[in-house]
C-alpha cells in the first residue's frame, strides 16, 4: 500500500443531463519520499487532480487515501503550492509565511517562530525582502515565497501544481535546481504537476502522464532511473535521458492524436456511433 | 537622500491621487523638463484657466443678468466680501468672548484702546449717515426728475381717457334713448359702438400701463452711490455696535469686574452675619451662602457666544463623522454577513431595497422623535451631560438634534457601504480561500485574516461613497432639525433675506464643496492604503 | 416656593423707595397714564438689580426671525439678562412647530411664541403640553399683503383705492367680487398664513369674514381649515411668503415684519392693511415656557421676566417729544445675521414707526410695534379668552364650551402673578415706574370695539362675542 493513493477516483462537474467528466477511474500509488511528476496537456484535469489530492474537493467515486486514511478535507500535512502562487497580497513576505506558521505550529514561541520563518526566507533566497508586498516581487520571487510558505508548514506530502509554468526559462531552471536541492536536503513525498517533459525527467523519480480530457485517466508510468544529483548541463547528452524523453514525448503525442480524433468524432456526434466503444479504444 | 525624498514625494502624490503635482516634483529634479512642462500645462494651467474663465463668465455674464424680484445672483466680488464679513463676525465674537474673561493690565489696556476707537468712530458714523442722506436725496431728485415727465404723461392720458370715456358714454346713453325697439340694424350698430368704446379704453389702459411700467422700473433702479453709502453706513454702525459691546465686556460686564462686585457683596453679607443676633443671624447666614454660590458661578461664567460659521463648520464635520461611523458600524457587520451567507443576504434584500431609497427628509423627523424620547431633558440627562464634559467634543454641545442629524446621515449613507461590503466578502479570490482551507483556519481567523483584508478595498470604496452621500444629507438634516451647523447657517441666511444673504449662501456653496472634496481625498488615501495588487482599482 | 415668593413681592406691603429720577419722571408722565396704560415711556435712572437665587443660570431661548423677537434679543444684547446673573444663548428656530417641540423637549428653556401657541398646546390642539406665559412681548406688528394683480383688481372694484395714498382701513370688501369671480370660474383664491394657531391666521380670517368672505372652518376631519372656504388659507413659513407670492402659488398673505416690507421693497405685492386696523393694539407674541420648567425654576422665571420687562421698556423709551429713542439701535442689533438678519433699512421702517404700503405710500405708524406702553407686557386673561373665542369660532375647538371654561383655560396659561412679582421688584430697584404696571386689574382689559368690523369684545363675555359673528361657529 502506497503512502498516498488514488483508488478508482472519478470526478465530474455539472448536472447529470450535461455532465462533464474530468477524471475517470484514476489509480495512482505514491511511495513515501517518492518524487512523482504528473504530466499532461492543458485542460486534461491536472488542477482537479491537485484539488482531490489536497482534499479541497471530494471525488464522485473512488477515494483518496493518505497513509491508509481517507482524505476528506484539506490540511497542512499536504502542503500545496498553487499554480498562481496564492499569496495574500495584503501581507508582506514575512507575514505570508507567518500566517501559515502560526496556524500549523501554534505552540511555537515568538523568538523561535521568528528564526524559523527567517530560515525559510533564507532558504528560498528572499533575504532582505521580508517586508516587501507580493506586488513588489518578481514572478520567480513570488513562486519562491509560495514554496517557502508551503515548506514552512512541514507537510508530509508536497503538492506542486505547475509551479514553474508561469516563469521564463532562466528563472525556471534556477527554481528547478532549488526545489531539487531543498527536496534532497529534506526528503519528503512530492507530487508535481507539470506540462514539461524535460522538467519532469530532470526532477522526478517517476513520470505519470495524464490522458487528455474529458474523462482523463492515468494509463501507465515511466520510472526515471537517472542518478542523482542530475546535472542539467550534462543531462542533455545522457542517452538514458534522451531515450526517456523520447518515449514519454511519443507517448504523449500519440495520446494527443487520439484525443484529437476523439474530439472530432464527438463534435459530429453521428447517431450511428456508439460512444462506449470509442471510449474503450481511448 | 534627495532621491529618497523624491520617491517619497511621488509616493505620497500617488497615494493622495493628486497627480497634477507630479510634474512639479519631477521638474524640480530636472527630469525631462519639456515633458513635465507639457504636463503642467495640461493638468494645472488648463484647469486654472477654466476656473478663471468660469469666474469671468459668472462675473460678467451670469450674475448681472440673473435678477429676479426676490434677489439677484451675487457676483464673485460680492461673494468674496460676504466671506470677509462672515470672517469678521467670527473674529468679533471671538474678541467679545476673550474680552469677557480678560483680566488685569491686559484688560485695562484693551479697554483703553476700545474706548479710544469708540470716541473716534462717532464722527465716522455721522459722516456715513450724512452721506447716506445725501445720496438718497440725489437719487430721489434724479429719479423724480426722470419720472416727472412720464408721470405727467400718464396723468394727462388718464384725464383724457376719463373725459373721453365720460363723453362717449354720455353720448351712447343719449343714443340709447332714441333706439327703436326690436331686432334691427340700428341696435346692432349700437352694440358695435359700445364694443368699440371698450376696445379703445383697453388700448388707452395698455398705453398707460406701459408708461407705468417704465416708472416702476426707474423706481426699482438701485443707485450705486446709495448702495455704497448704505454699505459704508452699515459697516461703520456695526463697528460702533461692536466697540460698544466690547467696552461693556471689558468694563462693567467683565468677569473680573463681576467677581469683584460679587466679592464685595459677600463681604457685606459676612459682616452683617458676624454682627447679627438671634433669628436675624439665620437669614444673614443664608445670604452669605447664596452670595458665595453666586460668586462661584460668576467665577466660572463665560460669554454666551453665538455660533460662528467656523464653529458651525466644525460641528457639521463632527456630525457627519458621527453619522458616518454609526452607519459604518451597522453596515459593515451586516454587509459581511450578507457576503458570507446567501440566506442572510436573501433575508436582508427586502429591507435594503425598501429603505435604501428613503429620503433624509423622511428619516429626520422620525430620528428626531426617537432622539428626543431617549433624551427627554438634555440639560439634565446623563448622556448629554457626559458628552458635554468630554474634552474636544464637549464644546460642540451634542444634543438630540445633533444625534437625529447624525442618525439621518447614518441611515441615508450606510447602503453603499453595506452593498459594497457584501460584494467584497462574496467575491473573495477562491485561491485565497483555498489557502485558508489548507491552513485549516477557523471561522474567525478566516474572516479576519483572509476575508476582511481581501474585501477591504471594496469596503473602503463603499465607505467613500457613504461619506460623500452623508455630507450631502447632513446639510439637509441640519436645516430641518435646526442642529447648529452649516445646514442651519444656510436656512438662517435664507430666513434673513438680507441683501447679502444670497452671497453668504454662495460662500457656503464653496465651503461645502471644498470640505466634500477634502473628505473624498481622505477616503481615497485610505482606500489606496488598503488596496493591493489585483483589487478593484481605486479612482 | 413660587407662592412664597409671590407673597413676598405682591401682597406684603413694603415701604417704597423712590429714586429722585423716578420721582421726576413720575410727575412728567403721570398725566398720560390711563386705563390702557401709559402712552409714553420716559427714561429712568438705572437702579441696581437684587440678585435672585437662580436655580439655573445658563439658558437657551429660541426665536423666529421676526422683528417682534426684539425683547429677548435686547435683553441679551443690552445686558438685562446679565444683570440678573443669567447667561443666555438666543437661538434662531426654523419654524414655529420646531420651536414649540424644542421647548417641550427641554432643548430650549423658553421661546418667543405666537400667542395662540401656549393656549393651543395647553388645550391639546396640535402638540399637547402645558405651556404658560408671564410676559406678552408686543402688540400689533403684522400686515396683510396681496399680489400686485389682486391689488389692481381691487383698485378697479373700488376706484377710491386707485390713488398713491388710499385711505385706511382697507376692508376686504373690494376683494369680495374677485373671490366670487374666481369661484364662478371654479377656482378659489389662495392665501398664506404662518401657523394654524397664529395670530396671523385669526387676523386674516377676521379681515376676510368682516367683509363677508368665508375663510373656511376647521372640523375634526378637516384640520386644514378649508371646509366651506371661499378663500383657502395655507401655512407657509414667513421667509417663504414673498417668494411663494411671486411664484403665484398664493395671492396674498398675512405675516409679521419684515416680510410685508420685503414685498414692497421687491415690488411683488402691496400690503393692504395691518393688524392694527383689524384690531387696534392686539396682542401678538408671548414669551412661553413649560409649566414644569417654571415650577422647577421659579426664581429663574422671575429673573427672566424682569429682564424682559426691562427690555420691553427700553424698546419703547421715548424722549420728551415722544420720539422712540432706542429703536434705531434696536433695528441695528436685530439686523445682525444671528438675530433677524434682514437689511437694517427694511427692519428700521417698521421698528421706527413707519410702514410702506406702496413705494409711494409711506406712513407714520408709531404704534406698529408696541413693546411696553399701554400695559402691553402684562399677560392679560382677556387676550387668552380672545384667542380661545377665535379657535372656537373657526372650529379648532370642536365642541361648544361654557364661558367658565374660557376663563379657566386663560388662567391656566396666563400667569400675571409672576409678572407682577417681577414688576414689583423692578419698581423697588428703580428700573420702572409704579404707574406703568396695572397693579389692581382683574386681568381683563376693558371692553373695546376697535375692530375693523366695529364689533365689541368684552373678555368677560366670550359667548356673547362669539354669537355676534355672522360667519363661524356662533357659540
Mark yes or no for CB contact B453/A88 under 8 Å.
yes
Enumerate the residues of chain B whose CB falls inside 8 A of the CB of residue C58: 304
For chain C, helix, strand, coil in percent to 5 are: 45, 15, 40
Alpha-carbon distance of C13 to B51, in angstroms, equals 76
What pLDDT does C21 receive?
Answer: 40
Give yes or no for residue A265 having a pLDDT over 70. no
Q: How far is C61 from chain B (nearest CA, A)?
A: 12
E strands present in chain A: 4-13, 20-30, 35-39, 61-66, 69-70, 78-81, 157-161, 189-194, 206-209, 222-223
DSSP string, B178-244: TPPSSS-HHHHHHHHHHHHHHHHHHHHHHHHHHHHHHHHHHHH---HHHHHHHHHHHHHHHHHHHHH
Write down the mean pLDDT value for chain B: 87
Q: What is the mean pLDDT of residues C79-92?
A: 89
3-state secondary structure of B141: helix
By C-alpha distance, the chain B residue nearest C105 is: B376
> Which one has a higher pLDDT value, B462 or C14?
B462
Enumerate the residues of chain B whose CB falls inside 8 A of the CB of residue C164: none
Give yes or no for residue C35 having a pLDDT over 60. no
Mark yes or no for CB contact B438/A134 under 8 Å.
no
CATH of domain B309-530: 1.10.3720.10
What pLDDT does B29 receive?
Answer: 86
Interfacial C residues in 102-141 facing B (CB < 8 Å): 102, 105-107, 109
Mutate to test the interface with B, among A89, A96, A146 (most CBs of B within 10 A): A89
Q: What is the mean pLDDT of residues B72-77?
A: 83
Write down the mean pLDDT value for chain C: 86
Enumerate the residues of chain B whose CB falls inside 8 A of the CB of residue A86: 431-432, 434-435
Q: What is the mean pLDDT of residues C81-109?
A: 89
Task: Classify burial at C203, counting beta carbons within 10 Å of its beta carbon; exposed 0-12, middle 13-18, buried 19 or more.
Answer: buried
- The string of pLDDT tens digits covering residues A126-172 is 889 889 988 888 888 898 899 899 889 888 898 988 888 777 888 88
> Which one has a higher pLDDT value, A180 or B181?
A180
The two beta strands, C252-256 and C189-193, are: parallel
Residue A275: pLDDT band with limits 50, 70, 90: low
Which chains are within 8 Å of B by 3+ CB pairs?
A, C
Nearest to C275 by CA among C460, C111, C114, C135: C114
Q: Does B255 touch chain C (CB under 8 A)?
A: no
Alpha-carbon distance of B14 to A42, in angstroms, equals 40
Q: Is C410 left (phi over 0), alpha (psi -120 to 50) or beta?
A: alpha
Give yes or no for residue B183 having a pLDDT over 80. no
Kindly state the cell numbers that stand for B369: 422623535
Residue A55: pLDDT band with limits 50, 70, 90: confident
Helix (H) or strand (E) holding B481: helix B452-481
Q: Does C51 touch chain B (CB under 8 A)?
A: yes
Residue C46: pLDDT band with limits 50, 70, 90: low
By C-alpha distance, the chain B residue nearest C163 is: B155
Q: What is the mean pLDDT of residues B103-124?
A: 89
Alpha-carbon distance of B174 to C189, in angstroms, equals 40
Q: Does C295 touch chain B (CB under 8 A)?
A: no
pTM score of the predicted model: 0.80
Alpha-carbon distance of C129 to C118, in angstroms, equals 8
- The string of pLDDT tens digits covering residues C273-289 is 998 989 999 999 999 99
Name beta bridge partners: A39: A194, A209
DSSP string, B298-328: HHH----PPPPHHHHHHHHHHHHHHHHHHHH
What pLDDT does C45 receive?
Answer: 62
Q: How far is B455 from chain A (nearest CA, A)?
A: 11
Enumerate the residues of chain B whose CB falls inside 8 A of the CB of residue A84: 431
CA dist list (Å): A221 to A247, C19, C303: 11, 124, 105
Minimum mean pLDDT among A57-61, A258-262, B312-316: which range? A258-262
Which chains are within 8 Å of A by 3+ CB pairs?
B
> Which one has a higher pLDDT value, B320 or C49?
B320
Name beta bridge partners: C355: C363
- The string of pLDDT tens digits covering residues B345-359 is 999 999 989 998 888
What pLDDT does B104 receive?
Answer: 84
Nearest to C274 by CA among C343, C324, C372, C349: C349
3-state secondary structure of C448: strand
Please state, for a pLDDT cut of 70, what percent of chain B lies above it: 98
Mark yes or no for CB contact B494/C239 under 8 Å.
yes
What pLDDT does C30 receive?
Answer: 38
What pLDDT does A57 receive?
Answer: 87
Whose cell is 325697439? That residue is: B181
Residue C236: pLDDT band with limits 50, 70, 90: confident
Residue C132 backbone dihedrals phi, psi, to 5 degrees = -125, 165
Give yes or no for residue C209 having a pLDDT over 90. yes
- CA A36 to centroid of chain Cα atoms: 9
Domain range list for chain C: 2-140+283-379+414-436, 142-280
Give yes or no for residue C321 having a pLDDT over 60. yes
Give yes or no for residue C1 having a pLDDT over 80. no
Q: What is the mean pLDDT of residues A26-41?
A: 88
What pLDDT does C13 receive?
Answer: 43
The two beta strands, A222-223 and A35-39, are: unpaired
CA dist list (Å): B238 to B12, B234, B306, B310: 47, 6, 16, 20
E strands present in C298-338: none
Residue A177: pLDDT band with limits 50, 70, 90: confident
What pLDDT does B13 receive?
Answer: 86
E strands present in C384-451: none
Mark yes or no for CB contact B532/A89 under 8 Å.
yes
Mark yes or no for CB contact A84/B431 under 8 Å.
yes
Enumerate the residues of chain A whose CB falls inside 8 A of the CB of residue B7: none
- The string of pLDDT tens digits covering residues C371-391 is 998 899 999 999 999 999 999
Kindly state the cell numbers that stand for C109: 428653556
CA dist list (Å): B206 to B200, B202, B210, B317: 10, 6, 6, 57
> Which one has a higher pLDDT value, B375 or B52?
B52
Q: Does C412 touch chain B (CB under 8 A)?
A: no
Alpha-carbon distance of A68 to A25, in angstroms, equals 19
Enumerate the residues of chain A whose CB falls inside 8 A of the CB of residue B441: 103
Alpha-carbon distance of A72 to A88, in angstroms, equals 25
- The string of pLDDT tens digits covering residues B265-297 is 889 888 888 888 888 888 888 888 888 888 888
Mark yes or no for CB contact C338/B480 under 8 Å.
no
What pLDDT does A1 receive?
Answer: 62
DSSP string, B75-98: PHHHHHHHHHHHHHHHHHHHHHHH
Residue C406: pLDDT band with limits 50, 70, 90: very high
Nearest to B207 by CA among B147, B145, B150: B150
What pLDDT does A95 receive?
Answer: 93
Alpha-carbon distance of A177 to A169, in angstroms, equals 12
Mark yes or no for CB contact B440/A76 under 8 Å.
yes
CB pairs under 8 A between B and C: 123
Give yes or no for residue A213 having a pLDDT over 80. no
Domain C142-280, classified CATH 3.40.190.10, yes or no: yes
Give yes or no for residue B432 having a pLDDT over 80. yes
Please state, for a pLDDT cut of 70, what percent of chain C lies above it: 91
Indicate the class that CATH gives domain C2-140+283-379+414-436: alpha beta
CA dist list (Å): A198 to A32, A201, A204, B360: 23, 5, 10, 68
The ipTM assigned to this model is 0.79
Sign of CA dihedral C92, C98, C100, C102: negative
What pLDDT does C19 receive?
Answer: 40
Cβ neighbours of C82 (radius 10 Å): 24
Mutate to test the interface with B, among A88, A95, A148 (most CBs of B within 10 A): A88
Of B379, B481, B496, the CB nearest to C106: B379
Nearest to C80 by CA among C451, C372, C439, C281: C372
Q: Does B504 touch chain C (CB under 8 A)?
A: yes
Mark yes or no for CB contact C340/B496 under 8 Å.
yes
Question: Which CATH number is A1-72+195-227's, of 3.40.920.10, 3.40.50.2020, 3.40.1710.10, 3.40.50.300?
Answer: 3.40.50.300
Nearest to B472 by CA among B497, B509, B522, B504: B509
What pLDDT does C27 receive?
Answer: 39
3-state secondary structure of A261: helix
What pLDDT does A263 receive?
Answer: 55
Mark yes or no for CB contact A88/B456 under 8 Å.
no
Q: Does B431 touch chain A (CB under 8 A)?
A: yes
Q: What is the mean pLDDT of residues B462-490?
A: 89
What pLDDT does C15 receive?
Answer: 40
Residue C23: pLDDT band with limits 50, 70, 90: very low
Give yes or no for residue C26 having a pLDDT over 50. no
- The string of pLDDT tens digits covering residues C362-372 is 888 888 889 99
What pLDDT does B409 receive?
Answer: 93
Name beta bridge partners: A4: A30, A66
Amino acid at each position: 500500500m502506497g503512502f498516498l493513493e488514488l483508488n478508482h477516483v472519478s470526478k465530474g462537474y455539472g448536472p447529470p443531463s450535461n455532465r462533464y467528466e474530468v477524471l475517470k477511474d484514476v489509480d495512482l500509488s505514491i511511495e513515501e519520499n517518492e518524487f512523482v511528476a504528473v504530466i499532461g496537456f492543458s485542460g486534461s484535469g491536472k488542477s482537479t487532480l491537485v484539488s482531490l489530492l489536497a482534499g479541497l474537493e471530494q471525488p464522485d467515486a473512488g477515494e483518496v487515501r493518505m497513509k491508509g486514511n481517507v482524505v476528506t478535507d484539506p490540511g497542512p500535512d499536504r502542503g500545496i503550492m498553487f499554480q498562481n502562487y496564492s499569496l495574500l497580497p495584503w501581507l508582506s513576505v514575512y507575514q505570508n509565511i507567518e500566517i501559515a506558521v502560526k496556524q500549523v505550529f501554534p505552540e511555537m514561541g515568538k523568538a523561535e517562530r521568528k528564526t524559523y520563518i527567517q530560515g525559510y526566507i533564507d532558504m528560498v533566497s528572499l533575504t532582505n525582502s521580508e517586508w516587501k508586498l507580493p506586488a513588489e516581487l518578481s514572478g520567480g520571487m513570488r513562486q519562491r515565497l509560495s514554496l517557502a510558505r508551503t515548506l514552512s508548514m512541514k507537510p508530509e506530502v508536497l503538492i506542486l501544481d505547475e509551479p514553474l509554468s508561469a516563469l521564463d526559462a532562466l528563472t525556471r531552471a534556477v527554481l528547478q535546481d532549488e526545489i531539487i536541492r531543498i527536496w534532497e536536503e529534506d526528503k519528503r513525498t512530492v507530487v508535481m504537476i507539470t506540462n514539461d517533459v524535460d522538467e519532469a525527467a530532470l526532477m522526478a523519480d517517476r513520470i505519470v502522464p495524464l490522458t487528455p480530457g474529458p474523462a482523463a485517466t492515468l494509463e501507465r508510468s515511466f520510472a526515471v532511473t537517472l542518478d542523482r544529483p542530475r546535472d542539467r548541463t550534462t543531462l542533455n547528452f545522457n542517452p538514458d535521458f534522451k531515450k526517456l524523453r523520447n518515449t514519454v514525448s511519443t507517448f504523449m503525442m500519440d495520446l494527443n492524436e487520439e484525443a484529437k480524433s476523439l474530439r472530432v468524432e464527438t463534435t459530429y456526434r453521428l447517431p450511428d456511433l456508439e460512444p462506449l466503444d470509442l471510449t474503450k479504444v481511448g | 537622500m534627495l532621491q529618497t525624498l523624491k520617491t517619497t514625494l511621488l509616493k505620497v502624490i500617488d497615494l493622495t491621487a493628486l497627480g497634477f503635482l507630479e510634474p512639479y516634483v519631477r521638474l524640480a529634479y530636472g527630469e525631462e523638463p519639456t515633458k513635465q512642462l507639457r504636463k503642467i500645462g495640461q493638468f494645472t494651467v488648463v484647469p486654472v484657466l477654466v476656473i478663471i474663465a468660469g469666474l469671468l463668465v459668472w462675473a460678467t455674464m451670469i450674475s448681472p443678468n440673473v435678477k429676479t424680484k426676490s434677489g439677484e445672483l451675487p457676483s464673485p466680488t460680492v461673494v468674496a466680501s460676504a466671506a470677509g464679513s462672515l470672517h469678521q463676525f467670527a473674529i468679533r465674537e471671538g474678541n467679545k468672548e476673550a474680552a469677557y474673561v480678560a483680566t488685569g493690565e491686559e484688560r485695562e489696556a484693551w479697554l483703553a484702546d476700545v474706548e479710544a476707537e469708540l470716541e473716534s468712530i462717532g464722527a465716522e458714523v455721522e459722516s456715513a449717515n450724512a452721506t447716506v442722506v445725501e445720496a438718497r436725496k440725489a437719487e430721489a431728485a434724479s429719479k423724480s426728475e426722470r419720472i416727472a415727465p412720464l408721470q405727467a404723461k400718464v396723468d394727462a392720458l388718464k384725464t383724457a381717457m376719463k373725459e373721453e370715456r365720460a363723453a362717449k358714454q354720455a353720448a351712447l346713453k343719449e343714443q340709447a334713448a332714441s333706439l327703436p325697439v326690436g331686432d334691427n340694424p340700428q341696435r346692432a350698430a349700437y352694440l358695435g359702438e359700445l364694443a368699440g368704446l371698450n376696445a379703445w379704453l383697453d388700448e388707452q389702459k395698455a398705453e398707460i400701463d406701459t408708461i407705468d411700467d417704465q416708472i416702476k422700473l426707474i423706481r426699482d433702479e438701485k443707485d450705486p452711490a446709495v448702495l455704497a453709502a448704505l454699505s459704508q453706513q452699515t459697516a461703520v454702525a456695526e463697528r460702533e455696535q461692536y466697540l460698544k459691546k466690547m467696552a461693556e465686556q471689558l468694563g462693567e460686564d467683565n468677569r473680573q469686574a463681576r467677581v469683584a462686585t460679587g466679592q464685595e457683596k459677600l463681604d457685606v453679607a459676612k459682616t452683617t452675619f458676624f454682627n447679627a443676633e438671634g433669628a436675624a443671624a439665620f437669614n444673614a447666614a443664608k445670604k452669605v451662602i447664596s452670595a458665595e454660590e453666586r460668586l462661584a458661578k460668576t467665577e466660572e461664567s463665560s460669554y454666551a457666544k453665538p455660533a460662528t460659521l467656523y464653529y458651525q463648520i466644525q460641528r457639521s464635520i463632527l456630525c457627519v463623522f458621527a453619522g458616518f461611523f454609526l452607519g459604518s458600524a451597522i453596515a459593515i457587520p451586516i454587509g459581511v454577513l450578507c457576503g458570507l451567507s446567501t440566506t442572510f443576504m436573501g433575508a436582508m434584500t427586502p429591507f435594503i431595497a425598501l429603505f435604501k431609497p428613503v429620503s433624509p427628509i423622511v428619516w429626520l423627523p422620525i430620528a428626531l422623535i426617537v432622539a428626543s424620547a431617549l433624551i427627554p431633558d438634555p440639560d439634565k440627562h446623563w448622556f448629554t451631560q457626559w458628552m458635554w464634559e468630554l474634552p474636544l467634543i464637549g464644546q460642540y454641545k451634542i444634543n438630540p438634534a445633533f444625534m437625529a442629524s447624525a442618525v439621518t446621515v447614518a441611515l441615508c449613507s450606510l447602503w453603499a457601504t453595506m452593498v459594497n461590503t457584501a460584494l467584497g466578502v462574496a467575491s473573495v479570490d477562491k485561491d485565497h480561500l483555498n489557502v485558508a482551507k489548507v491552513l485549516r483556519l477557523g471561522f474567525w481567523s478566516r474572516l479576519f485574516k483572509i476575508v476582511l483584508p481581501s474585501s477591504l478595498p471594496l469596503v473602503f470604496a463603499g465607505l467613500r461613497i457613504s461619506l460623500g452621500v452623508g455630507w450631502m444629507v447632513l446639510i439637509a438634516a441640519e436645516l430641518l432639525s435646526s442642529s447648529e451647523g452649516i445646514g442651519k447657517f444656510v436656512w438662517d441666511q435664507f430666513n434673513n433675506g438680507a441683501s447679502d444673504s444670497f452671497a453668504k449662501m454662495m460662500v457656503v456653496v464653496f465651503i461645502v464643496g471644498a470640505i466634500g472634496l477634502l473628505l473624498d481625498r481622505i477616503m481615497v488615501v485610505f482606500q489606496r492604503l488598503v488596496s493591493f495588487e489585483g483589487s478593484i482599482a481605486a479612482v | 416656593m413660587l407662592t412664597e415668593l409671590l407673597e413676598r413681592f405682591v401682597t406684603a406691603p413694603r415701604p417704597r423707595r423712590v429714586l429722585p429720577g423716578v420721582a421726576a419722571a413720575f410727575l412728567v408722565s403721570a398725566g398720560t397714564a390711563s386705563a390702557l396704560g401709559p402712552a409714553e415711556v420716559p427714561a429712568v435712572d438705572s437702579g441696581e438689580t437684587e440678585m435672585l437665587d437662580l436655580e439655573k443660570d445658563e439658558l437657551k431661548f429660541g426665536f423666529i426671525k421676526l422683528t417682534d423677537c426684539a425683547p429677548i434679543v435686547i435683553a441679551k444684547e443690552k445686558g438685562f439678562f446679565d444683570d440678573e446673573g443669567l447667561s443666555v444663548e438666543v437661538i434662531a428656530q426654523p419654524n414655529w412647530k420646531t420651536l414649540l417641540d424644542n421647548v417641550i423637549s427641554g432643548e430650549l428653556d423658553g421661546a418667543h411664541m405666537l400667542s395662540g401657541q401656549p393656549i393651543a398646546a395647553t388645550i391639546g390642539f396640535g402638540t399637547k403640553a402645558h405651556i404658560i406665559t408671564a410676559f406678552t412681548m408686543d402688540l400689533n406688528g403684522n400686515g396683510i399683503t396681496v399680489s400686485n394683480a389682486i391689488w389692481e383688481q381691487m383698485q378697479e372694484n373700488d376706484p377710491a383705492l386707485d390713488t398713491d395714498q388710499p385711505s385706511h382701513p382697507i376692508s376686504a370688501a373690494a376683494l369680495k367680487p374677485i373671490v366670487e369671480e374666481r369661484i364662478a370660474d371654479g377656482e378659489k383664491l389662495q392665501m398664506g398664513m404662518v401657523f394654524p394657531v397664529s395670530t396671523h391666521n385669526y387676523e386674516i380670517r377676521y379681515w376676510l369674514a368682516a367683509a363677508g368672505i368665508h375663510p373656511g372652518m376647521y372640523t375634526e376631519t378637516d384640520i386644514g381649515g378649508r371646509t366651506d372656504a371661499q378663500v383657502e388659507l395655507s401655512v407657509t413659513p414667513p421667509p417663504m411668503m414673498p417668494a411663494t407670492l411671486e411664484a403665484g402659488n398664493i395671492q396674498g398673505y398675512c405675516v409679521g415684519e419684515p416680510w410685508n416690507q420685503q414685498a414692497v421693497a421687491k415690488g411683488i405685492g402691496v400690503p393692504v392693511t395691518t393688524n392694527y386696523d383689524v384690531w387696534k393694539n392686539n396682542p401678538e407674541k408671548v414669551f412661553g415656557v413649560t409649566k414644569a420648567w417654571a415650577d422647577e425654576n421659579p426664581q429663574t422665571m422671575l429673573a427672566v421676566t424682569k429682564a424682559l420687562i426691562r427690555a420691553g421698556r427700553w424698546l419703547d423709551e421715548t424722549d420728551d417729544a415722544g420720539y422712540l429713542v432706542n429703536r434705531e439701535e434696536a433695528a441695528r442689533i436685530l439686523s445682525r445675521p444671528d438675530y433677524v438678519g434682514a437689511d437694517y433699512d427694511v427692519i428700521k421702517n417698521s421698528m421706527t414707526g413707519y410702514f410702506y404700503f406702496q413705494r409711494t405710500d409711506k406712513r407714520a405708524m408709531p404704534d406698529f410695534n408696541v413693546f411696553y406702553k399701554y400695559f402691553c407686557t402684562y399677560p392679560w386673561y382677556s387676550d387668552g379668552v380672545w384667542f380661545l373665542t377665535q379657535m372656537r369660532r373657526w372650529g379648532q375647538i370642536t365642541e361648544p364650551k361654557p364661558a367658565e371654561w374660557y376663563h379657566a383655560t386663560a388662567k391656566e396659561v396666563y400667569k400675571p402673578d409672576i409678572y407682577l412679582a417681577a414688576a414689583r421688584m423692578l419698581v423697588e430697584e428703580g428700573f420702572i415706574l409704579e404707574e406703568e404696571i396695572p397693579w389692581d386689574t382683574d386681568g381683563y382689559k376693558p371692553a373695546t370695539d376697535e375692530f375693523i368690523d366695529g364689533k365689541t369684545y368684552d373678555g368677560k363675555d366670550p359667548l356673547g362675542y362669539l354669537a355676534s359673528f355672522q360667519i363661524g361657529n356662533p357659540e
